[in-house]
Amino acid sequence: MPQKNNPVKLDGTLLAEKLTEAAKNEVEKLRKKNIVPHLEVILVGNDPASRIYVNNKTKACDKTGIFHNTNLLPENVSNEELLKFIQELNSKKEVNGILVQLPLPPQIKKDKIIDAIDPIKDVDGLHPYNMGLLMAGRQQWNPCTPGGILSIFKEHSIPLEGKNCVIIGRSDIVGKPLSLLLMQQNATVTICHSKTKNIPELLKKADIVCAAIGKAAFVKPDFIEQNTIIIDVGVNRISEEKLVDEIFGKEAPQKETFQKRGSCLCGDVHPQAYTKSSYYTPVPGGVGPMTIATLINNTITAAKVQKNSQ
């Protein structure tokens, strides 16, 4: 383990580049067998953040040779229209992966949309069937963000067996599936949420803290002990100058970013807490790129599974 006050930054961007290169080689092999991984992305409305996320995903497809298509649907699309469109994609044999970019407009019932995706094309890993396989430890691929986190641990040979892992957040996208993956690695897992009363006390007992609560700088430095491993999943946009100064300081690079763009990004963990860690993932450039790298690998795996089942 690194010595006290010498934290190691777990650079998700560099690891994602390494995995992307490996994925590119895998796609080249598949193309020689006339297998072309094919991802269909559905984006409803014109949310700027969602557009950025989709753009990053399609760029990764371009780098690896995955065929992709982005379907832009209007903000006022009905639930029935979206369900019909997903069924059309389900029926196309050449389509290996279907990804519906979240969040969705209020008239859309998210659960019904996810349920409508053919589980073998659910490369996000959010369909109840795939969640059930994950619960049983029989998943064919991992949900993207939790899978990316697991890859970070593996790349840096960070042992999980017997470790006390505290997850802040119980979402279907991160908290719940991440807890299952960590238990599969024989970690002891505690999940905190909005109704948990003693979060700081629980964090002080943690070997590993995974913050996925969606609140900027929620985990304060005094919440954690020295040499804790910090996985910061949160991506929060701060648009108040006073808050930027309070969290980062007036001379920090984030202040310069704020002055140029009118906002800056902050994780769920206070940056001063990173200095107490042994390892930490930065925001941005930590978990985010690994989420996309996992999506790419899931799409490749889905293409191979579907080919083998034909």
Average pLDDT over residues 159-177: 98
Is residue 23, in this structure, part of any structural domain at all? no
Which stretch of DSSP H or E encloses residue 180?
A: helix 175-184
Is residue 190, in this structure, part of any structural domain at all? yes
What pLDDT, on a 0 to 100 scale, did the predictor assign at position 5? 66
Whether residues 98 and 168 fall in one domain: no
To the nearest 10°, report the CA torsion of 137, 139, 143, 146. Answer: 30
Number of domains in the chain: 2
CATH of residue 75's domain is 3.40.50.10860
Grade residue 310 by pLDDT with cuts at 50, 70 and 90.
low
Distance CA 239, CA 236 (A): 10
Whether residues 179 and 226 fall in one domain: yes
State the residue range of the domain holding 225: 143-287
CATH of residue 155's domain is 3.40.50.720
Catalytic annotation, residues: 57, 101, 124
- E strand map for the chain: 8-9, 38-44, 67-73, 97-100, 164-168, 188-192, 208-211, 228-232, 236-238, 264-266, 277-280
User: What digits encode the pLDDT tens for the residues 181-217?
Assistant: 999 999 999 999 999 999 999 999 999 999 999 999 9
The pair of structure tokens assigned to 104 is 């969705």
The conformational region for residue 186 under phi > 0 = left, psi -120 to 50 = alpha, else beta, is left
Whether residues 69 and 111 fall in one domain: yes
Considering only CA atoms, which of 32, 35, 55 is closest in space to residue 43? 55
Whether residues 90 and 147 fall in one domain: no
**How many CA atoms lie within 13 Å of 246's alpha carbon, on the beta-carbon side?**
10
Is residue 126, in this structure, part of any structural domain at all? no
Distance CA 237, CA 147 (A): 24
Question: Where among 120, 151, 182 does a domain terminate?
Answer: 120
What pLDDT, on a 0 to 100 scale, did the predictor assign at position 2? 46
Whether residues 257 and 212 fall in one domain: yes
Q: Where are the alpha helices (DSSP H) in 65-156?
A: 79-91, 110-116, 128-136, 144-155
Phi then psi for residue 38, to 5 deg, are -135, 120
Whether residues 275 and 157 fall in one domain: yes
Distance CA 17, CA 184 (A): 26
Is residue 230, in this structure, part of any structural domain at all? yes
Is residue 150, in this structure, part of any structural domain at all? yes
177 touches 146 (CB < 8 A) = yes
Q: Is the predicted pLDDT of residue 250 greater than 90, yes or no?
A: yes
Distance CA 4, CA 227 (A): 6
Whether residues 166 and 107 fall in one domain: no
Average pLDDT over residues 3-9: 79
Q: Decide: pTM greater than 0.75.
A: yes
Q: Percent of the chain, pLDDT > 70? A: 98
278 touches 227 (CB < 8 A) = yes
Whether residues 156 and 271 fall in one domain: yes
Q: Is the predicted pLDDT of residue 1 greater than 60, yes or no?
A: no
45 touches 86 (CB < 8 A) = no
DSSP state of 202: H
Is residue 18, in this structure, part of any structural domain at all? no
Binding site per annotation, positions for NADP(+): 169-171, 235
212 touches 166 (CB < 8 A) = no
Whether residues 271 and 186 fall in one domain: yes
Binding site per annotation, positions: 169-171, 235
Distance CA 187, CA 53 (A): 31
Average pLDDT over residues 9-23: 98
- Please tell me whether residue 208 adopts helix, strand or coil conformation: strand
Whether residues 193 and 272 fall in one domain: yes
Q: Which residues contact 257 (CB under 8 A, 6 or more apart)?
A: 263, 264
Whether residues 150 and 232 fall in one domain: yes
Is residue 257, in this structure, part of any structural domain at all? yes
Is residue 127, in this structure, part of any structural domain at all? no
Whether residues 154 and 220 fall in one domain: yes
